[in-house]
């Protein structure tokens, strides 16, 4: 059946009389149903006979009854696509076992047994990239969250900690390098050109932290000596030709190790730390004990192939996975509802690290941009969930921006309220109390509460309530004082119609526009639905600077004039607040211009003048570093603007946003050209100055492309041709890719492809640049690129480079014809049988239909329904689609 042509019925119910029966709903797992596992598994032995097409796994588990759980003679072992080839109990072939669906149940009479189970798997057929799979002729694993059960029958849950010993053998020529968690304890040669290695990991761990790698790899090797004097061997394993691109990753790793000792008092706990780069990977990277597995995207960099953004991404992800050794591995999660315990905390740790490496202000702005661009929409849509969810059907769907980024913001608020020193006492308390355990978010909050001396009773609501709080702020002058009146509401979210007020820490200052005096910063905590705060001696024209440093993950509505915003954008001493003022100025204007009746001509030109003068001040401010100037110059994203509008019309927002860019580009043409020239004169390097110059250079082109396109095309082509680094090259190509009527576009796109053919990560950029371009024919371009010989559904990076870029491209994805929605739905249906985890990640963009104007809303919904009616959907996609429609 060609499902693409199945029409939805007029009443919105696509179920026809002869439609196939509803697929069986995957079960809902609930947090409140947690019970400890009936058995402990103190030790696990795994023996792998490795082969790309057939790997034989012998798992030997020593089990004993868990005194803290309800007793059961049944040992329930998770499996996924496995069949038991042999089952033995205490050395004897056993028949006291049965399958319950995918689960193997072994019935055990006594308190202690040894259970041995043989399974066989075909890694080459594993397109899901969960469990043991083949990538470019090597074997590797991804077990978080529930991939280990695709390798061996096991209690595949994070609260069952076991000490692993692993033996692996395989053809030496094919797999010269054999890696696993922990320490390499023995090696040897076998028959017929095979060899073997034995590994032992002394630290008990859950199965999701297991990893194995076998392949033809080379290492960048170095070492790090911890502050207590342990010498740790460090290796970054890559394919032969990639070795020259591993130095930045190695530097990042060593800086991370040093920083975690200094800032959190955490030392590494093995003599060996391995990182392996893999080109087929569903996510960014994975923190397996002693053997991190990374997407090549977060390892490989040199100036010719990686942008400044890529360098920062690598530094951040290397740090993130390394920091998990304590926040995740030494202390893991009791169950997957606690995922933010390790992810939120580890994201905060990597953010603080990157702030220290790159500068606090710029990093903070970048992190807030991600939060508002991804997490806020999630929090206001059908997939909203608290950072500690109450239920799920497929845990892979909960590796979300809410768990990660909002989770980090929630812990950051605790840090803000406690101050860094007391917060450190809190985290020390947490690490002391729970080392070696599978803990809960509650354990973390209690540790911070006790250690830092905070009362977090009401604050716990941040763990249970979803939705972005909205704060209304009004500053009422009263003689020499001003009263700040605040109200908060937490919007309803699926399953949570009524919310309670939460404690919201806000850094606030009141400046005086008349004298230019900047007020002193105060931290206030709004913990009621409404409250007032008095500011003394405020001057004649008090101006409110609020949520400075983005001290709380909330959205603020303030009554403020454009003149005050222009003042803050030019003068605020808090860099985030300064950034925010310009963003507000632009957002306020675009919301007014692109919603309702729009703006009258004179109101529109007045607002454009205000914005242009604020922008001119940003360009002219000599005290600003270019890294910061580049942030201030960035326009708020279309998604963020759309979030502020009921029944948003993406076409109108796009048109207004581009028109405003064009206005700025035309009005400030000579300043932008001068900025571009100044920045172009700074030679390549990694100093803040050089990095900043690259940032503003491309930003200048972005506005010129809108306001003075012919000039911009020449400048972009020249920047491309002169580029001695990927940042300049990609930036100029991005600008050219969005332009019409210039031969430079086709020529440079072709040059880029030919120059980097065969380098997968750079060819990913080539796809992404075109799929995210402003070009009017982007829909056709993406269709053609899907037929390009270098496009494949089998590689998640390539799929994302074309289709995630496209789904994030407002004027392609939201094409009024609905073609963009159809393309993404087609992709989901095609990818779902191959790689459900990656397929399901494309559902959220389609779940935004309730926020859109009627025409697009119906078209988008139709596509979701088409997916929902497919014959067979993975648990992943089923859950995301049904929640989105629900």
Residues forming contacts to Zn ion in the complex (CB under 5 A) are: 343, 346
CB of 291 to Zn ion, least distance (A): 15
**Selection from 310, 311, 306, 272 nearest residue 292 by Cα:** 272
Report in angstroms how near the CB of residue 379 gets to Zn ion at its nearest. 20
Q: Which residue has the tokens 């270098």?
A: 790
Measured from the CB atom, is 343 or 610 closer to Zn ion? 343
Q: How far is the CB of 425 from Zn ion (least distance, A)?
A: 24
Buried/exposed 622-650: b ≥16 CB within 10 Å, e otherwise:
eebbbbbbbbbbbbbbbbbbbbbbeebbb
Structure tokens at 512: 């005086």
Write down the least CB distance from residue 320 to Zn ion, Å. Answer: 6
Query: Which of these, 707, 627, 714, lies nearest to 671 by C-alpha position?
Result: 707
Dist. CA 427–CA 768, nearest whole Å = 40
**How far apart are CB 185 and Zn ion at their closest, in Å?**
28
Token reading at 548: 């400075």
Which of 220, 346 has the CB closer to Zn ion? Answer: 346
Smaller CB distance to Zn ion: residue 38 or 319? 319
SS3 of 382-419: the string is CCCCCCCCCEECCHHHHCCHHHHHHHHHHHHHHHHHHC
* DSSP assigned state of 521: P
Structure tokens at 717: 């082509």
Structure token pair of residue 881: 């689609």
Q: Which CB sits closer to Zn ion, 346 or 693?
A: 346
Nearer to Zn ion, 346 or 493 (CB): 346
Q: Name the residue nearer to Zn ion (CB basis): 329 or 874.
A: 329
Contact in structure between 344 and 608 (CB atoms under 8 Å) = no
Going across the sheet that includes 218-225, the strands are: 218-225, 231-238, 272-278, 291-295, 285-286
- Residue (153 or 399) nearer to Zn ion, CB: 399
Closest approach of Cβ 322 to Zn ion, in Å? Answer: 11
CB of 345 to Zn ion, least distance (A): 9
Which pair of structure tokens corresponds to residue 31? 């947090």
Among residues 321, 343, 394, 862, the one annotated as catalytic is: 321
- Written in H, E and C, the secondary structure of 783-802 is HHHHCCCCCCCCCHHHHHHH
Contact call for residues 540 and 514 (beta carbons, < 8 A): yes
- C-beta of 325 vs 772, nearer to Zn ion: 325
Separation between Cα atoms, residue 505 and residue 552, nearest integer Å: 6
**From the CB of 214, what's the least distance to Zn ion, in Å?**
25
Q: Which distant-in-sequence residues (6+ apart) come within 8 Å of 229 by Cβ?
A: none
Is 787 annotated as catalytic?
A: no
Q: How far is the CB of 287 from Zn ion (least distance, A)?
A: 6
**Helices (H), strands (E): how many in the chain?**
31, 31
Q: Please give the Cα distance from 164 to 156 (Å, whole number).
A: 14
Q: How many residues does the chain have?
A: 886
Q: Which is nearer to Zn ion, 346 or 863 (CB)?
A: 346
Task: Give the span between the Cα atoms of 295 and 342, in whole angstroms.
Answer: 20
Spell out a b/e string for 53-74, using b for 16 or more CB atoms within 10 Å of the CB, else e: eebebbbbbbbebbeeeeeeeb
Active-site annotation, residues? 321
């Amino acid at each position: 059946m060609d499902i693409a042509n199945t029409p939805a019925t007029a009443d919105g119910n696509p179920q026809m009389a002869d439609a196939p029966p509803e697929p069986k709903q995957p079960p809902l797992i609930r947090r409140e149903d947690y019970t400890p596992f009936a058995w402990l598994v103190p030790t696990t032995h795994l023996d792998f006979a490795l082969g790309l097409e057939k790997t034989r796994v012998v798992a030997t588990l020593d089990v004993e009854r868990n005194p803290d759980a309800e007793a059961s003679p049944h040992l329930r072992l998770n499996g996924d696509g496995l069949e038991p080839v042999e089952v033995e109990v205490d050395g004897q072939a056993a028949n006291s076992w049965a399958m319950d669906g995918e689960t193997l149940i072994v019935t055990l009479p006594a308190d202690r047994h040894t259970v041995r189970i043989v399974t066989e798997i075909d890694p080459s057929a594993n397109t899901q990239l969960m469990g043991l799979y083949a990538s470019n002729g090597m074997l590797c694993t991804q077990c978080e969250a529930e991939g280990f059960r695709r390798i061996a029958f096991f209690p595949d849950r994070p609260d069952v900690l076991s000490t692993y010993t692993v033996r692996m053998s395989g053809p030496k020529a094919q797999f010269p390098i054999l890696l696993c968690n922990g320490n390499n304890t023995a090696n040897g040669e076998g028959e017929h050109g095979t060899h073997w290695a034995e590994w032992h990991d002394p630290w008990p761990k859950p199965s999701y932290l297991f990893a194995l790698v076998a392949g033809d790899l080379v290492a960048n090797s170095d070492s790090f000596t911890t502050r207590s004097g342990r010498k740790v061997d460090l290796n970054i394993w890559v394919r032969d030709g990639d070795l020259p691109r591993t130095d930045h990753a190695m530097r990042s790793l060593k800086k991370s190790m040093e920083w975690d000792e200094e800032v959190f008092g955490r030392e590494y706990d093995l003599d060996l730390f391995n990182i392996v780069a893999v080109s087929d990977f569903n996510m960014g990277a994975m923190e397996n004990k002693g053997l991190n597995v990374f997407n090549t995207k977060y390892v490989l960099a040199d100036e010719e192939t990686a942008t400044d953004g890529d360098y920062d991404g690598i530094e951040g992800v290397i740090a993130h996975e390394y920091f998990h050794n304590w926040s995740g591995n030494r202390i893991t999660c009791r169950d997957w509802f606690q995922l933010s315990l390790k992810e939120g905390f580890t994201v905060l740790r990597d953010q603080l690290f990157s702030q220290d490496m790159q500068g606090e202000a710029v990093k903070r702005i970048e992190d807030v941009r991600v939060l508002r661009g991804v997490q806020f929409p999630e929090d206001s849509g059908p997939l909203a969930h608290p950072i500690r969810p109450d239920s799920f059907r497929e845990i892979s769907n909960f590796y979300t921006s809410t768990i990660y980024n909002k989770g980090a913001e929630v812990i950051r608020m605790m840090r803000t309220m406690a101050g860094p020193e007391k917060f450190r006492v809190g985290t020390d308390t947490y690490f002391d109390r729970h080392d070696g355990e599978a803990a809960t978010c509650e354990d973390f909050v209690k540790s911070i509460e006790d250690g830092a001396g905070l009362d977090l009773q009401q604050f716990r609501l941040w763990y249970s309530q979803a939705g972005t709080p909205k704060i209304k702020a009004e500053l009422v002058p009263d003689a020499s004082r001003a009263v700040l009146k605040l109200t908060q509401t937490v919007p309803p979210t699926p399953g949570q119609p009524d919310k309670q007020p939460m404690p919201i820490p806000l850094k606030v200052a009141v400046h005086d526009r008349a004298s230019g005096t900047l007020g002193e910063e105060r931290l206030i905590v709004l913990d009621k639905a409404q409250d007032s705060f008095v500011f003394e001696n405020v001057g004649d024209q008090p101006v409110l600077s609020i949520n400075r440093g983005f001290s709380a993950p909330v959205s603020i509505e303030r009554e403020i004039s454009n003149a005050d915003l222009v003042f803050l954008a030019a003068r605020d001493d808090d860099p985030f607040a300064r950034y925010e003022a310009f963003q507000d100025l632009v957002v306020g204007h675009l919301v007014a211009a692109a919603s309702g009746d729009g703006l009258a001509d004179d109101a529109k030109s007045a607002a454009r003048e205000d914005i242009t003068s604020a922008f001119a001040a940003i360009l002219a401010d000599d005290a600003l570093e270019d890294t910061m100037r580049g942030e201030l110059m960035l326009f708020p994203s279309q998604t963020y603007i759309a979030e502020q509008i009921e029944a948003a019309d993406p076409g109108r927002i796009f048109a207004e946003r581009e028109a405003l860019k064009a206005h700025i580009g035309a009005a400030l043409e000579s300043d932008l050209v001068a900025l571009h020239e100044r920045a172009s004169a700074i030679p390549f390097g990694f100093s803040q100055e050089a990095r900043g110059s690259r940032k503003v250079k491309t930003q200048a082109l972005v506005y010129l492309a809108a306001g003075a396109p012919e000039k911009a095309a020449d400048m972009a082509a020249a920047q491309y041709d002169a580029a001695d680094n990927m940042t300049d090259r990609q930036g100029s190509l991005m600008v050219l890719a969005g332009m019409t009527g210039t031969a430079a576009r086709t020529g440079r796109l072709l040059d880029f492809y030919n120059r980097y053919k065969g380098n997968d990560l750079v060819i990913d950029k080539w796809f992404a640049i075109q799929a995210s371009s402003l070009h009017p024919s982007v829909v056709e371009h993406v269709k053609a690129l899907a037929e390009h010989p270098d496009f494949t559904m089998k590689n998640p990076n390539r799929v994302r480079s074309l289709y995630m870029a496209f789904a994030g491209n407002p004027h392609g994805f939201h094409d009024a014809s609905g073609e963009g929605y159809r393309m993404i739905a087609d992709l989901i249906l095609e990818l779902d049988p191959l790689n459900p985890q990656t397929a399901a990640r494309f559902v959220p963009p389609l779940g935004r239909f309730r926020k859109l104007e009627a025409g697009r809303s119906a078209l988008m919904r139709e596509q979701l329904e088409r997916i929902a009616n497919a014959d067979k959907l993975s648990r992943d996609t089923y859950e995301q689609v049904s929640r989105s429609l629900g």
